[in-house]
Chain A
Amino acid sequence: MLSSLIMAFIVGGLICVIGQLLMDIGKLTPAHTLTILVVAGAILDGFNLYEPLIDFAGAGATIPITSFGNSLTHGAIAEAEKHGWIGVLTGMFEVTSSGISAAILFGMIGALIFHSKGQHP
């Protein structure tokens, strides 16, 4: 239990360090950084490398945004196996649809309930 928590913390933290370095040293915008991490997750899964990382680090690999890229590839490959090439298009959002729907739904609820405040350091 404790060792899996520690591994999740280290691996998840390292993924975030990569993101922070992209912004601080690479001078990339947050949007660029996010996109790069998603694409990296998708490519890693294409080489069957992301699943072993999840087995190893658990939430440390599933919580960061790289996991979203992993899910995109996962869904595309799974559907492609069932339905051929068209499955690449239909499968991509099959696994990820819950995440996307949740983002839209909670985004809407947040926008309805809250009024943004200013920054007060």
Chain B
Amino acid sequence: MDQGVIYFPSKPAIIASGVVAGPVEKKSVFAKDFDKFYDDERAEEDSNEKGHQTMAEQACQIALQKAKIKQNDVDFLMSGDLVNQMTPSNFAAATLQIPYIGLFSACATAVSSVIIASLLTELGGSRYALAGAGSQHNSVERQFRYPVEYGGQKPGTAQWTVTAAGYVLIAKGQMNSPVVEAATVGKVIDLQQTDPFHMGAAMAPAACDTITRHLKGRGQKLSDYDLIMTGDLGKIGLPILKEMLIKEGMAKQDVQKIRDAGAEYYGDDESFLAGASGAGCSASVFFSYILKQLNEKKMERVLAIATGALLSPLTVQQNESIPCTAHAVEISMK
């Protein structure tokens, strides 16, 4: 067995999902697969953080409604976000009244929460578990860079934090749903990149390590997958990842097929700089577009790798480098 690779023999199923997004995300190329949009990025709440919380609650509720499951029957909620102390997730858990553990893997939280929820299901301790993550543009920009009101400039390598929340409902093996077959937990990799406006490059080595380990641990090749999609490497990080994988000896034509949710999210619109990022980026694409492709049997096997930069504003001020991680989940549909 390779380091950090998990296999789920009972095949926990993703029976439903809920994805909500903000007004800017209507422009996303993935928008048609989202469940609900808000015309106000604060979701008509008083503050950005409250709006963030409301979106997490709504995404969970939509997943529950689709599966016709009651809140009381859900045993666990695994969630995280990028705001200090993860208050949007914590407060949403207070509303939902589902036993909860907050998880922080930065923008990789969508997948780390699915991994833990799948493990709980595998162990038999969970009938239904909600797992997911979200981000809200204004609150995350303020958390990590500057409040948007300040109007700080961003270089072209910077990315646009997505306003969206995505959650999935995971249950014991069920027919006709995509199943979580395996997962790989990311190492934290630090190649001494220090620019917080250039995270795609910092995260690419972590994605490369996780993909390589997953394939080795599972005895697979890139071509065994219909889709391999990373979370938010963006338009600059994705080519770096491809270059690294080719150096690892992977077939060039297979490497070229790897896609990145962040790079594609807002299409070619240059006002979004190097593409989308944020915990809501991978959550909204993985839990809408990818699951839809699997449910409609357009794809059979997908590797979704959420990437995360584990920095804080304080470590940036102290001139520390940016350690990064990437968690992968292998989802299949029979």
Contact = CB atoms under 8 A, between A and B. Distances in A.
Nearest to A30: B152
B137 interface: yes
Interface string A11-29: 0000000000001100100
B195 A118 contact: no
A32 B150 CA distance: 15
A27 B195 CA distance: 8
B153 A30 contact: yes
A120 B149 contact: no
A119 interface: yes
A121 B138 contact: no
Which of A23, A118, A120, A121 has the most chain B CB atoms closer than 10 A to its own CB? A118
A116 B149 contact: yes
A24 B155 contact: yes
Interface residues of B, number: 21
Interface residues on A, range: under 10
B272 A116 contact: no
A77 B195 CA distance: 41
B269 A119 contact: no
Nearest to B316: A29
A118 B269 contact: no
Contacts of B152: 30
Contacts of B72: none
Nearest to B153: A23
A68 to B, nearest CB: 19
Given A30-B146, A118-B42, A118-B138, 10 more contacts: A23-B153, A24-B155, A27-B195, A30-B153, A116-B147, A116-B148, A118-B137, A118-B148, A119-B137, A120-B24
Closest A-B pairs by Cβ, 4 of them: A121-B271, A118-B41, A116-B149, A119-B148
14 contacts: A30-B150, A30-B152, A116-B149, A118-B22, A118-B24, A118-B41, A118-B137, A118-B138, A118-B148, A119-B24, A119-B137, A119-B138, A119-B141, A120-B23
